[in-house]
Amino acid sequence: MKRDYTYSDFNTLCACQALRKSARTVTRRYNAALKPVGLNIGQFTTLASLLRPDSVPISVLAEQLGMDRTTLTRDLKPLERRGLVVSLSDAEDARQRNITISDRGRELMKRAAPLWEIAQEKTKKNISDEQWTDFRAELTKLTH
Amino acid sequence: MKRDYTYSDFNTLCACQALRKSARTVTRRYNAALKPVGLNIGQFTTLASLLRPDSVPISVLAEQLGMDRTTLTRDLKPLERRGLVVSLSDAEDARQRNITISDRGRELMKRAAPLWEIAQEKTKKNISDEQWTDFRAELTKLTH
DNA sequence: TGAAGAAAAGTGCATATACACTTAGATGAG
DNA sequence: CTCATCTAAGTGTATATGCACTTTTCTTCA
């Protein structure tokens, strides 16, 4: 490599690029941590959001996860294939598909949780609870 | 919809999920803004980082953009196809591929910049410069 | 100088992301 | 009751993401 390519940084300027870059970096860390259970952080998050008493329609889940409904539909495929979630048509409205985490999914989450915790601690170790709260507030402002 | 599905929020707890969710939301906004020029924010960012005097090897560019090299290799494909960037083997090291933005790419960026600015302003409108600086600092801490 | 090792980049594979459009089912106005 | 409309979800298409592995080229050292 012949010279130093450091270039005046659009990374710092563009809010979107800053967020995306950080998200990618942090995602790699969580994915690596979760590797032993064969989950990535997206799948872990989806399963985590299903740890609730009732089943949830796809649209509602997508809304809560802040992703496009059609993305979630496809993200559910690998989880269904592995029997970690179950989807059933709603008895009263045949258009609606309700998603539930399976027993197998719950079991896997028990093994996954401590792995997640390691990545989470590594991520938040340089930041105080107060800073984290502030950070979350700014994040909300940026997305609204 | 039969009840209120608000569920105690892993979204708030998991740093990775918080980042990813925000990144997705903000990405959709920038993508919508850039639609008239047929770029998405990832492509816009790549082109922006090429607005420099010299060409750049793929690895260096990937490092600067904070993405996997193999991801960048593939992200360059649509840009090359449209003639917005050019890649040439390095004269001194045949392994190396140097990327340059084309004149056409520069032209397109001139049209894209004001569109980017709209999304950027919308994103940062609720946040002060000082808050943004703080936010950037926290972001760095989270990724390190 | 020739072979071992390093380094740059590409490929195979699996998954993620979302817009535009389609399909199937529910619902409400006349 | 029926048809127009709405709504929940799936599909087509294109791009993004990155790990594991491969290929090509360069470098180093014995």
Dihedral, CA of residue A105, residue A111, residue A113 and residue A118, to nearest 10: -150
Report CB contact under 8 Å: A1, B123.
no
Hey, how many other C-beta atoms are within 10 angstroms of the C-beta on B46?
26
Distance in Å, residue B87 CA to nucleotide C2 C1' = 33
Cβ neighbours around B53 below 10 Å, total: 5
- Dist CA B105 CA B84 (whole Å): 4
Angle CA A99–A105–A111, to nearest 5? 145
Chain A residues near residue B57 by CB distance under 8 angstroms = 1
Proximity of residue B71 CB to strand D below 7 A: yes
Would you list the DSSP string of A50-110? T-SSS-EEHHHHHHHHTS-HHHHHHHHHHHHHTTSEEEEE-SS-TT-EEEEE-HHHHHHHH
Tell me the CA–C1' distance in angstroms for A92 and D1. 22
Residue A9 confidence (pLDDT) above 60: no
Give the tens place of pLDDT for each residue, B15-48: 999 999 999 999 999 999 999 999 999 999 999 9
The mean pLDDT of chain A is 93
A136 vs A111, A139, B14, CA distance in Å? 28, 5, 11
B14, B23, B56: residue with CB nearest A19 = B23
Higher pLDDT, residue B56 or B10: B56
pTM reported for the whole predicted model: 0.93
Over residues B90-123, the pLDDT tens digits come to: 999 999 999 999 999 999 999 999 999 999 999 9
Look at B134 and B4; give whichever has higher pLDDT: B134
Mean pLDDT on B36-65: 97
Assign A98 a pLDDT band (cuts: 50, 70, 90).
Answer: very high
Per-residue pLDDT for B8 more than 80?
A: no
Q: Which of the residue ranges B10-14, B80-84, B129-133 would you say has the lowest mean pLDDT?
A: B10-14
Find chain B residues with C-beta within 8 A of A26's C-beta.
15-16, 19, 142-143
Distance in Å, residue B130 CA to nucleotide C14 C1': 41
